[in-house]
Amino acid sequence: MSHTLGNLPQGAEPITIGPDGKPQVPAIPAVGYIEGDGTGPDIWRATKLILEAAVAKAYGDQRRIAWVELLAGEKALEQTGQYLPQKTIEDIAALKVSIKGPLTTPVGGGFRSLNVTLRQVLDLYACIRPVRHIPGAPSPVKRPEAVDMVIYRENTEDVYAGLEWRAGSPEAKRLIDFLASELGAVVDPQAGVGIKPMSARCTKRLVAMAIDYALARGRQSVTLVHKGNIMKFTEGAFRDWGYELAAEKYAGRVVREGQEEPGKLVIKDRIADAMFQQVLLRPDEYDVLAMPNLNGDYLSDALAAQVGGLGMAPGANVGDECAMFEATHGTAPKYAGQDKVNPGSLVLSGAMMLEHMGWVEAADLIPAALGRAVQDGMVTYDLARQISGATELSCSGFAQAVVERL
């Protein structure tokens, strides 16, 4: 996607992608941001404060981020008449790195998810969700400290492809008739219908990114999570293609479960419903998880619940050409403008962004400082009501507490 950026902030330069596929980041990179809807502006202000303080702490005046606002969601509708202007899509692609707050998506009718649209249009094929307990954060499980997993969720296919038709519509009737007449598949004529596409190409590039991450960071295993015992030619194919990719591209560096060798990454697989039990009962046996879109959505939220909830769960959508880091929760419109909600998800996503940029020294400061604030009981309302003796802070107050602990 070719696109020339407009005027950048003074002194800023664009990030580029090097021959190795990694971002080449200048001292003052232009980085895009989308405030988001509902509580988005509140958590963005808190996140910006912490990111800038961490960069200053790590590098002094040698590096800084030049922020470029991108319009999407309700703010974009007000200013442009569109929820997702084409210019925003083009700017995200050109900037290479951006961060966004939550965007509104209605249930049922209305416009399609902006989050899903961005992932598909920009080919951000990997949703990456690291899940690790922050000491002091409340948890419903006995051993939250045993949870240390990174989910790689395929972002562009599966039922999230948006190939579905309303019950009783002419399109649904035509598809149901075709299934019956051409393939002998009987479907209730009044059903809504959808198609679940899954391909070797998209599966293999997702699994390759997961394996690359595991190898680079000394992780012990990558687990393919699927429902292939029932959906044999989609979910089952995901499993088979994942094993094929591991054998083709990583021969000598990976082994299958049951063939363990010192120093080699173990590739294994689990049925999705069984995996929900495994992450509760035996979380320390799993490192990196690779899975199709819907499974990844469910399981990443379930894992987040074990370590403090979505308010503390970071996430990124990454492709070969650009990456977008985001809050993993919704817009919480009833709290909009109240400076109340927990900004932890977007803050930790910002730390992931800094790591992606190669600014590791600044990135590492943030989870540690946030953890110290939680351990000191200096938290927002959602955590304060679960931590005995905690001091309830506003969203901006929590940001300040984190900055003080950098």
Catalytic site residue from 177, 273, 284, 320: 273
CATH no. for 1-138+309-406 = 3.40.718.10
Q: What is the CA radius of gyration of the chain?
A: 22
- The answer to the question of whether 334 is labelled as a binding residue is yes
Higher-confidence residue of 115 and 59: namely: 59
pLDDT digits (tens, 9 = 90+) for 70-106: 999 999 989 999 889 999 999 999 999 999 999 986 5
pLDDT band at residue 259 using 50, 70 and 90 as cut-offs: very high
- Does 297 participate in catalysis according to the annotation? yes
Known catalytic residue: 273?
A: yes
Q: Which residues contact 68 (CB under 8 A, 6 or more apart)?
A: 5, 8, 9, 12, 30, 31, 32, 33, 91, 95
Please indicate whether residue 339 is annotated as part of the active site: no
Lowest-confidence pick of 137-141, 217-221, 282-286, 374-378: 137-141
Torsion angles phi and psi, residue 194, rounded to 5: -140, 160
- Distance CA(129)–CA(352), nearest Å, equals 10
pLDDT at 2: 45
pLDDT per residue as tens digits for the range 292-318: 999 999 999 999 999 888 778 899 999
Q: Is the CATH number of domain 140-158+198-306 3.40.718.10?
A: yes
Q: Which of 227, 250, 269, 340 is catalytic?
A: 227
Taking the C-alpha atoms of residue 209 and residue 202, their distance in angstroms, rounded to an integer, is 11
Contact 72, 101 (CB under 8 A): no
Task: State the catalytic residue, choosing from 33, 125, 152, 160.
Answer: 160
- The segment(s) of the chain belonging to CATH 3.40.718.10 are 1-138+309-406, 140-158+198-306
- Output the six-digit token pair for 340: 């109340």
pLDDT at residue 344 in the model: 94
113 labelled binding-site residue: yes
The reported pLDDT for the residue numbered 106 is 54
* Residue 188 appears among annotated catalytic residues: no
pTM: 0.91
Residue bearing the bigger pLDDT, 160 or 80: 80
Q: Which of 37, 269, 297, 382 is catalytic?
A: 297
240 marked ligand binding residue: no
| Separation of alpha carbons 66 and 54, rounded Å | 14
- Tell me whether residue 250 is annotated as binding: no
- Check whether 152 is labelled as a binding-site residue: no
The residue among 189, 127, 185 whose CA lies nearest residue 323 is 127
DSSP sequence for 174-210: HHHHHHHHHH-----TT--EE-----HHHHHHHHHHH
Does 329 appear as a known binding residue? Answer: yes
229 marked among binding-site residues: no
The count of other CB atoms within 10 Å of the CB of residue 219 is 19
DSSP 80-139: HS-SS-HHHHHHHHHHSEEEE------SSSSSPPHHHHHHHHTT--EEEEEEEPPTT---
H-assigned helices in 217-292: 235-249, 272-281
Compute the C-alpha angle 19/21/23, nearest 5°: 100
